[in-house]
Amino acid sequence: MSDVSVLVAGASIAGPALAHWLRRRGAEVTVVERAPELRPGGQAVDARGVTKEVIRRMGLEPAVRAACTETAGACIVDAHGNVLETFRADADGGDGYISEIEILRGDLARVLYDDTRDQVEYRFGDRIAELAQDADGVDVTFAAGDRRRFDLVIGADGLHSALRALVFGPHEQFIHHLGHVLAFYSVPNAFGLDRWLVEYQEPGRSALLRPIRDATRAMAMFSFASADFDVDYRDVPAQKRLLRERTAGLGWLTRDILGYLDESPDFYLDQVAQVRMDHWWRGRVGLVGDAAYSSSPLSGQGTGLALVGAYLLAGELAATGWNPEAGFARYEARMRSFVEANQEIGRLNARSRDVPGPQAEPVPDFTGQWFTELVGRALNGVDLPEYAGVPDAGAPAAAAPES
């Protein structure tokens, strides 16, 4: 076993997934998370293409599938609820508009945490306050007051990564707003949802209800165009006011859905944005998932990028003998084109939701062969080495598939 110590910032999806692979490759892993505990709920996330193979290699396919939303498909409706178009979850090999593996973000985070908590040190309710690195390691001062030294530090703390800002520079250098805002929160299932997601669209905005495993509840989601998003992502009252303003007059069930806004325990709103960086590492500090290369929720592949990136980052670091320069560079080389394909899909989807007008870019033609090829690269356009010869402690017995 290696005596390499790694600090991971963030305990949502990318962080615990990376902790899984780092631990299997022999590292001693600490995960620090600003929140006092795991955040429940959240939007539904999907596993498509090569991401499903990563989950299988983790030994977590049974646990992930057991926590899936079991959504049968999606339908687009008019203001009166009449169905205009349908998409089935079993179409396109389970990798279509609705994925066969669809799970709430909080439920996937719980699966990953439960898988790693006995082998990994988790520090909830804490954060990195200061960081200084030299040729041999990284000195970290935690907000709780103690100082520790690690061989490597990895930021897996999302779109608004505090570690990225600390090491690489202000958010404005890297976050690119795509002109839309998403909001979602759980509501009572007073709408008769039965395993089908329902979406209503108007130019530049939409309302959506999706089923979750708890049939008594549902997840509501709104999107609206906003070129001038300037609300503090931690100011929830201001976010709720913005949501009400931008959805005023939106048809279908919007008024009824908004009626549950103030009593929801898990409201979240943020800009639809991407993170674009020339490099995802500096010295002994690297980034993974949304912190490095958010593709936006409109790509449908943020979770895939996080899980695949975690697998490759841990694998390349171990394969290079934990040499940060070589390991980070090889990880970036393997991931870059995969990331770019998914970010392009996110940008195209955002364009398709823009408000029509003389200044708007043309709506993409998603029926062309070019788009089919782009989707292929976004789903499967990355190789997953077996990393033969690299230490692998194996998947925990409790997470292994049943025989």
Please check whether residues 211 and 232 belong to one and the same domain. Answer: yes
Whether the pTM exceeds 0.95: the reply is no
95 falls within a domain: no
Please check whether residues 268 and 289 belong to one and the same domain. Answer: no
Please check whether residues 296 and 352 belong to one and the same domain. Answer: yes
Q: At which of 221, 256, 272 does a domain end?
A: 272
Give whole-number Cα distances, 194 to 73, 132, 173, in Å: 10, 53, 44
Query: Residue 141 and residue 130: Cα distance in Å, rounded?
Result: 5
Q: At which of 241, 272, 303 does a domain end?
A: 272
Q: At which of 272, 294, 327 does a domain end?
A: 272
Q: What is the pLDDT of residues 131-164, one digit of tens each?
A: 999 999 999 999 999 999 999 999 999 999 999 9
94 falls within a domain: no
Please check whether residues 171 and 181 belong to one and the same domain. Answer: no
At a CB cut-off of 8 Å and minimum separation 6, what does 382 contact? Answer: 50, 308, 312, 334, 335, 337, 338
Counting as low any pLDDT under 70, the low residues of the chain are 1-2, 359-360, 395-403
79 falls within a domain: no
Please check whether residues 126 and 169 belong to one and the same domain. Answer: yes
Please check whether residues 246 and 297 belong to one and the same domain. Answer: no
Positive or negative CA dihedral for 186, 192, 194, 197?
negative
Please check whether residues 223 and 335 belong to one and the same domain. Answer: no
Please check whether residues 31 and 120 belong to one and the same domain. Answer: yes
- Hunting for tokens 């002109």 — which residue is that? 179
Nearest to 67 by CA among 93, 91, 101: 101
389 falls within a domain: no
185 falls within a domain: yes
Please check whether residues 184 and 253 belong to one and the same domain. Answer: yes
98 falls within a domain: no
226 falls within a domain: yes
Please check whether residues 195 and 155 belong to one and the same domain. Answer: no
Q: What is the pLDDT of residue 153?
A: 98
- Cβ-contact 19, 42 below 8 angstroms: no
Please name every residue paired with 124 in a beta bridge, in sequence order, or none if there are none.
33
Please check whether residues 338 and 288 belong to one and the same domain. Answer: yes
Give whole-number Cα distances, 176 to 97, 159, 275, in Å: 24, 10, 6
Domain count, the chain: 2
Domain that holds residue 169: 5-70+105-175+275-381
- Cβ-contact 322, 2 below 8 angstroms: yes
84 falls within a domain: no
Q: What is the pLDDT of residue 230?
A: 76
Q: What is the pLDDT of residue 102?
A: 87
Q: What is the pLDDT of residue 395?
A: 60
Q: What is the CATH number of the domain that holds 221?
A: 3.30.9.30
Please check whether residues 230 and 284 belong to one and the same domain. Answer: no
Q: What is the pLDDT of residue 399?
A: 42
- Cβ-contact 221, 260 below 8 angstroms: no
Q: What is the CATH number of the domain that holds 294?
A: 3.50.50.60
Query: Residue 203 and residue 353: Cα distance in Å, rounded?
Result: 7
Q: What is the pLDDT of residues 309-352, one digit of tens each?
A: 999 999 999 999 999 999 999 999 999 999 999 999 999 999 88
Q: What is the pLDDT of residue 45?
A: 87
